[in-house]
Amino acid sequence: MDNKAIAERLDSFATLLELAGANPYSARAYRRAAELIRTTQAPVADLIRAGRARELRGIGRGIEGRLKELVETGKIAELEELERQVSPDLVGLGLYLGIGARRAVQIGEALGIRTADELREAAAAGRLKEVPGIGPATESKLLAALAREDEPRPARGMLLHRARRLLAEIAEPLGAIPAGDPRRYKDSNDRLAVVAGADDPLPVLDAFESLPQIVTVLDRSERRAHGVTVEGVPVELVVVAGERLGTELVRATGSPEYVAALEPLPDAPDEQGVYRALGIPFCPPELREEPFRCEPPPLVELAQIRGDLHAHTTWSDGTATVEQMALAAIARGYEYLAICDHTPAVGAVRGLTPDDVRRQADEIAAANEQLAPFRVLRGIECDILPDGRLDLPDDVLAELEWVQASVHGGQRLKRSEQTKRVVEALRHPSVRCLSHPTGRLIGRRPENALDLERAFEVALEEGVAFEVNGLAPRLDLSGEHVREALKAGLQIVCSTDAHSILGLDNMVLSVATARRGWATADRVLNTRPLDEILR
Ligand SMILES: [Zn+2]
Ligand SMILES: [Zn+2]
């Protein structure tokens, strides 16, 4: 059993625990463990067999027991029991229809049903009122929702990394291509679709229905199906004859406005063919938001990135050492990596004191000696205190080669105060880049009340760059803000904010977000060699 398979089982366990209304902390602990195992390099199954699972940080005794059971027997008994109790397809359909998971489980128990089909039958037979707590009003609401069941409904804002992972898992066994919002790297994804080319659609549709990720299928026609995941997320499958694959791919990828402006689309086996037949230049998926028929600029590409300027290590809340992170950066073809651990004011996790910063310098120097000509930069992610001062003394900051300034606490300050505070930090002579400039957490926390236009102005005067943070819950700056920043004349930095080796792969998301903001390589600081970046 490889790490990916173990992580998937833990994720299912977490989902079912959540759905069964278990203690939210235990569900979260399993999710964290799944993420940890996904990002661990060594084969976790071996560690478990050797009784060393708890050396992985965040794996407690309870989870270790489940892991042992999984590796030794290939299953987790309680997970199978939960699957029996919770009936994932009933819960998936319920969530899709807007019924909470617990309610769906209650309905199932009260009616003695286990599947989505049985729910539909029971509803049609007028049995919903037998469920305690369901009166005529709720019944008619549910019946109405069931009647509209096959109308495509948005997925309600799935984060990009999860949406892309889900679509990849669904597309791969079908030989399909992931499309929909995630192909445009939207920060919050509502339309999830995959497109398959096949002359005979039947086997593809059948395979789609039997995927573990798809718990129930809402509707199915000759060449199309809508399935739902256990979390109630709808996924669309389009099967098309090979000679029209490009056409349907364009249709399933662009925003409705973008596609409508190109219709009627000519038939072609690939997207290039569609654009050729339309007589317009090819448009990268990231730009297919607003209607656009012109020649796009040469957008920055992942291969042009020469280094990552924001990564954490075990010195703060990362899971890998300086050397491990540097080796991983070398493996990604980079020339440099800035180690930017936290400072004490960050609060929730360990932050580096001036003394720590100097001790870390020795470790970085040793890594540099070993790994030359690769360069590990002495950096920091320094908190901006509420009054605009930085969280380390000026002389310590002056020693560093790359200083990121970050707002972590005090996100709710008034606009005037937040702006004043950030402007003051941007004026600091050591600061090179503002991290996650708006502080948003997608779907969870709005942008800080920061006057971005003013911040752009000051950053331009001071030669400070703005980060495009590649963590999926952040993607900050957003594509729209990247566009505004570039119009204001700023430089941006594509960074991962990696807290693990695999976290370095978030560069894909950062670069895609910059592309959504029409960024070309000359505007992205870390496409340059190091001697042009250091000052
Ligand atoms: Zn941060
Ligand atoms: Zn960070």
Residue 61: is its pLDDT beyond 90?
A: no
Q: Average pLDDT over the chain, rounded to whole?
A: 93
- For residue 255, report the distance from its CA to the centre of ligand 1, in Å: 31
Q: How much is the average pLDDT of 464-478?
A: 98
Q: Does the CA dihedral 425-431-432-433 come out positive or negative? A: negative
- For residue 516, report the distance from its CA to the centre of ligand 2, in Å: 22
- For residue 342, report the distance from its CA to the centre of ligand 2, in Å: 7
pLDDT digits (tens, 9 = 90+) for 236-254: 999 999 999 999 999 999 9
Cα–Cα distance list, 494 to 182, 267, 506 (Å): 19, 37, 10
Nearest ligand by distance to the CA of 436: 1
- For residue 316, report the distance from its CA to the centre of ligand 2, in Å: 10
- Which residue would you say has higher pLDDT here, 413 or 138? 413
Nearby residues of 511 by Cβ (< 8 Å), 6 or more positions away: 300, 301, 302, 305, 470, 494
Query: What residues flank ion ligand 2 with Cβ within 5 A?
Result: 381, 497
SS (H, E, C) 420-472: HHHHHHHHCCCEEEECCCCCCECCCECCCCCCHHHHHHHHHHHCCEEEEECCC
Residue 121: is its pLDDT beyond 80?
A: yes
- For residue 165, report the distance from its CA to the centre of ligand 1, in Å: 24
pLDDT digits (tens, 9 = 90+) for 265-293: 999 999 999 999 999 999 999 999 999 99
- For residue 313, report the distance from its CA to the centre of ligand 2, in Å: 10
Nearest ligand by distance to the CA of 309: 2
- For residue 497, report the distance from its CA to the centre of ligand 2, in Å: 5
From 78, 53, 75, 76, select the one nearest 64 (Cα to Cα).
Answer: 53
pLDDT digits (tens, 9 = 90+) for 189-202: 999 999 999 999 99
pLDDT digits (tens, 9 = 90+) for 140-187: 888 888 888 777 666 678 999 999 999 999 999 999 999 999 999 999
Report pTM: 0.87
- For residue 414, report the distance from its CA to the centre of ligand 2, in Å: 24
- For residue 237, report the distance from its CA to the centre of ligand 2, in Å: 37
- For residue 339, report the distance from its CA to the centre of ligand 2, in Å: 10
Nearest ligand by distance to the CA of 310: 2
Backbone angles phi, psi at 337, to 5 degrees: -145, 125
- For residue 65, report the distance from its CA to the centre of ligand 2, in Å: 32
Does residue 119 contact residue 107 with C-beta atoms inside 8 Å? Answer: yes
